[in-house]
Amino acid sequence: MRSGTRHPSATAPPGLAGLRSAAHAATAPEAWDFVEGGSGWETTLSANRAAFDAVSLVHRVMTDTASADCSGRLLGTDAAMPLLVAPMAYQRLLHPDGELATARAARAAGVPFILSTLSSHPIEAVVETGADVWFQLYWLRERQAREALVDRAEQLGCRALVVTVDVPVMGRRWRDVTNGFTLPPHVRAALLEPGLDDLAHRPASGVSAVAAHTRALFGVPTLAELEQLRRRTELPLLVKGILDPQDARRAVECGADAVVVSNHGGRQLDGAVPSIAQLPAVVEAVGGQCEVLMDSGVRTGTDVLRALALGAAGVLLGRPVLWGLAAAGEKGVCEALSVLHDELREGMLLAGCADLAAAAGLHAHRWVPGD
């Protein structure tokens, strides 16, 4: 590399740079800001990547590794790699097929797809794609509506329930505020009763209509409510939005089968610690009593390997999936997932890991120039 030549942007490593560029070109500016933006000054958004880049792996040699098997199990579910498609709202903003295209691509890649409460397609249609569908629950304040959603997801065959607990209100996302972001008429919250998403379509200068809608409808569960939910459903229960080890232990005590270490992709508390930095402490805190997953900042197969080495059972992938969707629909999401799979497999080979158990045994540490 010539002196002064910049490395590709940290938000778009070479493997996904083309998809990101194509997605940017194909997406309306307000929708792009909704996808790419973070809260506040976006310091946590940037810190997520910096924290991943600071994790160094100690590779193994002379391990007689002729191949690498990326497949494993996530909460009892077979997966072609330790990755799930993260729950992401309103995917019809980026492509007419929205969640249907993403679910079909996840099925083709052999990984679970987590459907958001704010899906722009109904659960029934997404389940019909044949994907391994898990359901993400935002904590609707109205108990009857919340319980009806949980029952519906379970009856339709969703394989797990992912409860998001880090959105008492939506973080102030200045890009959306500046844009006065509202949902276009063709994009609805298909899982909510008609009229419940009206606020998200109501424009007002200097206001994010989506934030106003979230503030009106959603909250977070108390520990007692989480325990009640655990008693109500037989589905595996994941608690998403954990950063503090004490909260992870409390989730386990409430009956969680897994916790997701997450700062919501830098979209909630600006200044929150990067997820990857908190992962080892959370893993230690739960002491093997539940699985630990993580999200926020995953952009490469090496990132997945880093997370495994630090104790994660797997990762949730967010924005790169949406880049693929915006760029080329189902085909684009397939490409994004294929890139991550190939990068993970190559990384495992280079690190001397024949399987995920070996990857979990790698030594990783935070490297600082000058150490």
With the C-alpha atoms ordered 307, 346, 79, 296, is the resulting torsion angle positive or negative? positive
Question: Of 11, 9, 8, 71, nearest to 299 (Cα)?
Answer: 11
* Cα–Cα separations (whole angstroms), residue 55 to 45, 210, 259, 262, 330: 17, 35, 21, 17, 32
Tokens describing residue 238:
């994941």
For tokens 């249907």, the residue is: 100
Q: What distance in Å separates the CA atoms of residue 63 and residue 85, rounded to the nearest whole number?
A: 32
Q: What distance in Å separates the CA atoms of residue 5 and residue 43, rounded to the nearest whole number?
A: 25
Contact 8, 14 (CB under 8 A): yes
Task: Kindly name the residue from 95, 121, 264, 341 that is annotated as catalytic.
Answer: 264
Q: What distance in Å separates the CA atoms of residue 31 and residue 282, rounded to the nearest whole number?
A: 34
Cβ burial, residue 371 (10 Å; 0-12/13-18/19+) = exposed
* Cα–Cα separations (whole angstroms), residue 333 to 81, 95, 294, 315, 325: 15, 11, 20, 16, 5
Q: What distance in Å separates the CA atoms of residue 176 and residue 38, rounded to the nearest whole number?
A: 9
264 counts as catalytic? yes
Catalytic residues: 264
